[in-house]
């Protein structure tokens, strides 16, 4: 079975920091990779699809990169609204999520 592994599980950061979250697939997934943001008690929000395509309305401080099995989500300058949990997802055949990375205030 395909596994998606994120690191770190928790990340402590301050406003203005550059933040990077990694996601590794257990096998090559081409570009079928999305990132979501979830805040407590809310539904996830799609941020990025196809590895690096920002959804409409998502701030440009978010970016995605990678290929094959290794992917990253970068927030160039962390803002107060960005403290949340982030999930990567492979979305072809089976729709497997990573275990999540919680970005918390340092």
Partner 1 sequence: EVQLVQSGAEVKKPGESLRISCQGSGDSFTSYWITWVRQMPGKGLEWMGRINPSDSYTNYSPSFHGHVSISVDKSISTAYLQWSSLQASDTAMYFCARQPIGEPFDYWGQGTLVTVSS
Asked if 74 and 20 count as a contact pair (C-beta separation under 8 A), the reply is yes
Query: Of the candidates 2, 11, 13, 46, which one interacts with partner 1 according to CB under 8 A?
Result: 46
**DSSP letters spanning 27-95:** S--TT-EEEEEE-TTS--EEEEETTTEEPTT--TTEEEEEETTEEEEEESS--GGG-SEEEEEEEESEE
74 binds partner 1 (CB under 8 A): no
8 binds partner 1 (CB under 8 A): no
User: Shortest Cβ distance from residue 16 to partner 1 (Å)?
Assistant: 28
Query: Of the candidates 24, 45, 63, 69, which one interacts with partner 1 according to CB under 8 A?
Result: 45
List phi, psi (to 5°) of 89: -150, 135
83 binds partner 1 (CB under 8 A): no
Terminal-residue alpha carbon distance, the chain: 36
Footprint (CB under 8 A) of partner 1, residues 19-38: 34, 36, 38
Query: Of the candidates 14, 16, 43, 81, which one interacts with partner 1 according to CB under 8 A?
Result: 43
Contacting range for partner 1; rule: CB under 8 A; set: 11-19, 23-31, 45-53, 57-65: 45-53
């Amino acid at each position: 079975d395909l596994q998606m592994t994120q690191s770190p599980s928790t990340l402590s950061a301050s406003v203005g920091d550059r933040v990077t979250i990694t996601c590794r697939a257990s096998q090559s997934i081409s570009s079928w990779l999305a990132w979501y943001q979830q805040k407590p008690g809310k539904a996830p929000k799609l941020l990025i699809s196809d590895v690096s395509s920002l959804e409409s309305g998502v701030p440009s401080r978010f970016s995605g990169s990678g290929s094959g099995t290794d992917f990253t989500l970068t927030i160039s300058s962390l803002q107060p609204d960005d403290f949340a949990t982030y999930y990567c997802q492979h979305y072809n055949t089976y729709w497997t999520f990573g275990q999540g990375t919680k970005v918390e205030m340092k």
